[in-house]
């Protein structure tokens, strides 16, 4: 469990909502929006110092962007 702080609690709440949104976008096959949500989710986990969750969120973002790119659209990832 994380130590309590005002901002930590906000990032935790945001992470939960972003994960739900990202998974909803995946179900709707909105791969670009899913990828964007997973990148934002990784940012929240980074603020909370959850390294494994950061890696998982970036991996999910990569998979989503890969599926988006299969539609014949070009994307740039740095």
What would the pLDDT profile of 7-60 be if each residue is shown by its tens digit?
668 999 999 999 999 999 999 999 999 999 999 999 999 999 999 999 999 999
Angle between helix axes 51-69 and 6-27 (nearest 10 degrees) is 30
CA distance 18 to 16: 6
pTM, two decimal places:
0.81
């Amino acid at each position: 469990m994380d130590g309590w702080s005002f901002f930590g609690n906000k990032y935790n709440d945001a992470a939960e909502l972003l994960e739900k949104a990202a998974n909803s976008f995946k179900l709707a096959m909105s791969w670009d929006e899913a990828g964007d949500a997973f990148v934002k989710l990784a940012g929240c986990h980074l603020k909370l110092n959850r390294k494994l969750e950061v890696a998982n969120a970036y991996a999910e973002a990569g998979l989503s962007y890969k599926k988006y790119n299969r539609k014949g659209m070009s994307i740039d990832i740095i």
